[in-house]
């Protein structure tokens, strides 16, 4: 690592010879494999941009020149070269290095948002600002993947960039994949451009210059291409061809996704450490069963077949599973079309990415009473993927959607049951949401009233404790503790939280106080909806709403964030104790 130790900032690259750069690339790969094997992270994407990033930092002078990473999951090499090697011992950890660009870490970082297809819009905006402010000596460079180009926002931006003619360098990192091989006509076009360079294809047709295709692993060739692009002073696409996972055989040959996002692994074999059954694996298994029984059920993914658990369904029913690219808006609106065509689409996305298609859920699906089921994985606090990945916005948004129904399973058995209940609904959108990680043991109910499961009852009706989804377990634990303190708690799981079940309101009115614990944003969350329903019933039973505060939460493990935010059994006990003290007289 002799060379890598010499690199404290991008300008330390300037004096290196060709052979030294190649040796440095090797050292960087060793460094990445070692760091990510301990912490987990986006190994494949970063192994694929080692030479590209070296060339970028030799041709452009960051931070005076502005580098904009789309998604930002491929910024590890950029961080290694901008003085943050030491931080990798805490990659994706609380108080450590973010897995995405982070302004608080470095002036070299700009976009912190890990949602794809946005960087080109940033580039257009910055280029416009430079024109208005007559800034002429700062290049605007965006690095965008072929997958990110399948997102609609990217084409909104390209339309503006190409139309305006301002100097923007678009470094297209084309490794032919998102997680899976990139889909659609664009993928075919890029393949054609890679294999038979012509006049720059769609980019030239839009009015941009096109440089390439260039071998993204050939530093010298990349530097020539980037210098050429820089000299043109107008919109230009540099089409770089790279290999995801390059230089580490287990990643480069990983059949699923080239180790796009991998947990801690054995660095000698590339095999991830053992993982427990996840919520996702339960969804995968039940979807296969549903697919066997219901020929009208089809699935849609936005370039995340594996991570959302749909890969086995796609394998078994290839004609009934659609990968639309990183295009959540299209996925939701196409689902409305699929429903109109007599099918029942299951749209599987991460909760945080549902934000992208809120209008389509509202106006294309719900307005038309379309029987579409949205399955939201990574709902609630995800933690190590940083503030833009927490699934904390979905319920706050979805509470606005007329007719939409939301299920939040508490365990595997309920996930299976509620997925089936959801696909039975043919005249309205349904949502089933569950968190990242291992699914706990099943929690039996002692009674059911409408959709509401009673999980335990105390000696008196002091507190109605509503445990939403994965927090039902903590609520049951809290109920038992409170019983020992002489506080009578009824622990319930509403199962379907929207519309608010009438049975839940009735139960609330029969208690002195209500506490709701939910792994979702507090604004417009389950507690807020229940409080509103109680008011609408003319009652004033106080409701304590435990949830995720509406702030951007720094990187930390999910369990750590739940504890920090008071979403544990201990914190629920305290909340209930206080609620009884303040509650209505018995
Ligand atoms: C709106 C949105 N949807 C889904 C994702 C999940 N995601 C992160 S990276 C990625 C694939 C990106 O592919 P590409 O742009 O080609 O970059 P590469 O990983 O190949 O370097 C996806 C689907 C996301 N970050 N944002
Ligand atoms: C960058 C991105 O959006 C995805 O790769 C995401 O980081 C994956 O998250 P999981 O690791 O929870 O599947
Ligand atoms: Mg790609």
What ipTM was estimated for this complex? 0.99
Ligand index nearest the alpha carbon of residue 354? 1
Pairing of strands 447-449, 430-433: unpaired
CA angle 359, 364, 367 (to 5 degrees): 100
SS3 for 449?
strand
Nearest to 157, CA basis, from 170, 175, 176, 138: 170
Answer yes or no: is the C-beta of 568 below 6 A from any ligand 2 atom. Answer: no
SS3 for 448?
strand
C-alpha to C-alpha distance for 369 and 312, rounded to whole angstroms: 29
C-alpha to C-alpha distance for 73 and 84, rounded to whole angstroms: 16
Nearest to 558, CA basis, from 385, 382, 376: 382
Residues 6 or more apart whose Cβ sits within 8 Å of residue 142: 67, 68, 69, 70, 119, 120, 122, 123, 168, 169, 170, 171
Residues annotated within the binding site for Mg(2+) are 146, 175
**Predicted local confidence at residue 585, as pLDDT:** 78
C-alpha to C-alpha distance for 131 and 119, rounded to whole angstroms: 18
Phi/psi at 325 (5° precision):
85, -175
Ligand 2 center–CA 353 separation, angstroms = 11
What are the start and end residues of each CATH 3.40.50.970 domain in the chain?
A: 2-252, 279-433
**Predicted local confidence at residue 583, as pLDDT:** 75
Structure tokens at 534: 């109680």
Q: Kindly give the number of the ligand 2 atom that is closest to the alpha carbon of 307.
A: 13
Q: How many CB atoms lie within 10 A of CB 152?
A: 15
- Ion ligand 3 contact residues with beta carbon within 5 A: 145-147, 175, 177
Ligand 2 center–CA 261 separation, angstroms = 6
C-alpha to C-alpha distance for 314 and 373, rounded to whole angstroms: 17
C-alpha to C-alpha distance for 34 and 282, rounded to whole angstroms: 32
Ligand 1 center–CA 445 separation, angstroms = 40
Residues 6 or more apart whose Cβ sits within 8 Å of residue 132: none
Phi/psi at 375 (5° precision):
-105, 115
User: What CATH number labels 279-433?
Assistant: 3.40.50.970
Q: How many CB atoms lie within 10 A of CB 127?
A: 24
C-alpha to C-alpha distance for 462 and 525, rounded to whole angstroms: 23
Whole-Å CA distances, 91 to 39, 73, 88, 385, 583:
6, 12, 5, 10, 45
Q: pLDDT 10s digit of each residue in the chain, 586 long?
A: 899 999 999 999 999 999 999 999 999 999 999 999 999 999 999 999 999 999 999 999 999 999 999 999 999 999 999 999 999 999 999 999 999 999 999 999 999 999 999 999 999 999 999 999 999 999 999 999 999 999 999 999 999 999 999 999 999 999 999 999 999 999 999 999 998 877 899 999 999 999 999 999 999 999 999 999 999 999 999 999 999 999 999 999 999 999 999 999 999 999 988 778 899 999 999 999 999 999 999 999 999 999 999 999 999 999 999 999 999 999 999 999 999 999 999 999 999 999 999 999 999 999 999 999 999 999 999 999 999 999 999 999 999 999 999 999 999 999 999 999 999 999 999 999 999 999 999 999 999 999 999 999 999 999 999 999 999 999 999 999 999 999 999 999 999 999 999 999 999 999 999 999 999 999 999 999 999 999 999 999 999 999 999 999 999 999 999 999 999 999 999 999 999 988 777 7
Q: Is 79 a catalytic residue?
A: no
Task: Judge whether 464 and 429 are in contact, CB under 8 Å.
Answer: no
Pairing of strands 447-449, 452-456: antiparallel
State CA 467 to chain mean position distance: 25
Answer yes or no: is the C-beta of 71 below 6 A from any ligand 1 atom. Answer: yes
What are the start and end residues of each CATH 3.40.50.920 domain in the chain?
A: 447-582
Fold adopted by 2-252: Rossmann fold (3.40.50)
**Angle of helix 412-423 relative to helix 279-293, nearest 10 degrees?**
40
Answer yes or no: is the C-beta of 244 below 6 A from any ligand 1 atom. Answer: yes
Task: Judge whether 97 and 91 are in contact, CB under 8 Å.
Answer: yes
Q: Is 356 a catalytic residue?
A: yes
C-alpha to C-alpha distance for 126 and 142, rounded to whole angstroms: 11
Task: Judge whether 464 and 508 are in contact, CB under 8 Å.
Answer: yes
Answer yes or no: is the C-beta of 555 below 6 A from any ligand 2 atom. Answer: no
User: What CATH number labels 447-582?
Assistant: 3.40.50.920
Task: Judge whether 309 and 436 are in contact, CB under 8 Å.
Answer: no
C-alpha to C-alpha distance for 537 and 519, rounded to whole angstroms: 26
Whole-Å CA distances, 569 to 107, 391, 533:
41, 21, 26
Ligand 3 center–CA 181 separation, angstroms = 8
Structure tokens at 438: 């291992």
Residue of 112, 286, 328, 421 marked active site = 328
Ligand index nearest the alpha carbon of residue 98? 2
Ligand index nearest the alpha carbon of residue 69? 1
Q: Is 557 a catalytic residue?
A: no
């Amino acid at each position: 690592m002799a060379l890598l130790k010499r690199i404290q900032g991008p300008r330390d690259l300037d004096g290196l010879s060709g052979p030294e750069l190649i040796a440095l690339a090797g050292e960087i790969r060793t460094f990445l494999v070692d760091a990510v094997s301990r912490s987990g992270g986006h190994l494949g994407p970063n192994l694929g941009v080692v030479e590209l990033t070296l060339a970028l930092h030799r041709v452009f002078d960051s931070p005076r020149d502005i580098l904009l990473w789309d998604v930002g999951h491929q910024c590890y090499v950029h961080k290694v070269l901008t003085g943050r090697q030491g931080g990798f011992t805490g990659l994706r950890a609380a108080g450590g290095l973010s897995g995405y660009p982070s302004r608080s870490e470095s002036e070299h970082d700009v976009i912190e948002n890990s949602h794809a297809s946005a960087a080109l819009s940033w580039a257009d905006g910055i280029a416009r600002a430079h024109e208005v402010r007559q800034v002429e000596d700062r290049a605007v460079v965006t690095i965008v993947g072929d997958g990110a180009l399948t997102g609609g926002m990217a084409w909104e931006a390209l339309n503006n960039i190409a139309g305006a003619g301002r100097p923007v360098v678009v470094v297209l990192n084309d490794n032919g994949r998102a997680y899976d091989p990139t889909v659609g006509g664009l993928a075919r076009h890029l393949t054609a451009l890679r294999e038979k360079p012509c006049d720059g294809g769609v980019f030239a047709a839009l009015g941009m210059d096109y440089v390439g295709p260039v071998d993204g692993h050939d530093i010298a060739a990349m530097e020539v291409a980037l210098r050429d692009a820089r000299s043109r002073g107008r919109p230009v696409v540099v089409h770089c061809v790279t290999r995801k996972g390059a230089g580490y055989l287990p990643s480069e040959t990983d059949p699923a996704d080239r180790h796009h996002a991998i947990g801690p692994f054995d660095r000698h074999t590339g095999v991830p450490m053992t993982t427990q059954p996840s919520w996702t694996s339960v969804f995968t298994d039940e979807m296969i069963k549903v697919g066997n029984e219901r020929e009208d059920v089809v699935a849609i993914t936005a370039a995340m077949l594996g991570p959302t658990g749909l890969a086995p369904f796609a394998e078994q029913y290839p004609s009934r599973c659609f990968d639309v690219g990183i295009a959540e808006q299209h996925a939701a609106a196409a689902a409305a079309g699929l429903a109109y065509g007599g099918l029942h689409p299951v749209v599987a996305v991460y909760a945080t990415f549902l934000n992208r298609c809120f209008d389509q859920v509202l106006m294309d699906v719900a307005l038309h009473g379309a029987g579409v089921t949205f399955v939201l994985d990574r709902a609630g606090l995800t933690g190590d993927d940083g503030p833009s990945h927490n699934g904390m916005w979905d319920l706050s948004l979805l509470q606005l959607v007329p007719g939409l129904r939301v299920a939040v399973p508490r365990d595997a058995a309920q996930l299976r049951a509620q997925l089936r209940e959801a696909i039975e609904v043919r005249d309205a959108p349904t949502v089933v949401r569950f968190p990242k990680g291992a699914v706990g043991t099943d929690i039996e109910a002692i009674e059911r009233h409408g959709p509401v499961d009673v999980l335990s009852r105390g000696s008196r009706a002091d507190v109605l404790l509503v445990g939403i989804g994965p927090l039902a377990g903590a609520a049951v634990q809290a109920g038992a503790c409170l019983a020992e303190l002489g506080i009578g708690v009824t622990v319930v799981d509403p199962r379907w939280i929207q519309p608010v079940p009438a049975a839940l309101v009735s139960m609330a009115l029969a208690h002195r106080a209500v506490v709701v614990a939910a792994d979702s944003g507090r604004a417009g969350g389950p507690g807020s909806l229940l409080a509103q329903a109680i008011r609408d019933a003319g009652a004033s039973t106080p409701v304590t709403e435990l949830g995720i505060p509406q702030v951007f939460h720094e990187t930390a493990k999910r369990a750590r964030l739940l504890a920090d935010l008071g979403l544990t059994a201990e914190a629920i006990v305290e909340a209930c104790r206080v609620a009884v003290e303040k509650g209505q007289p018995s």
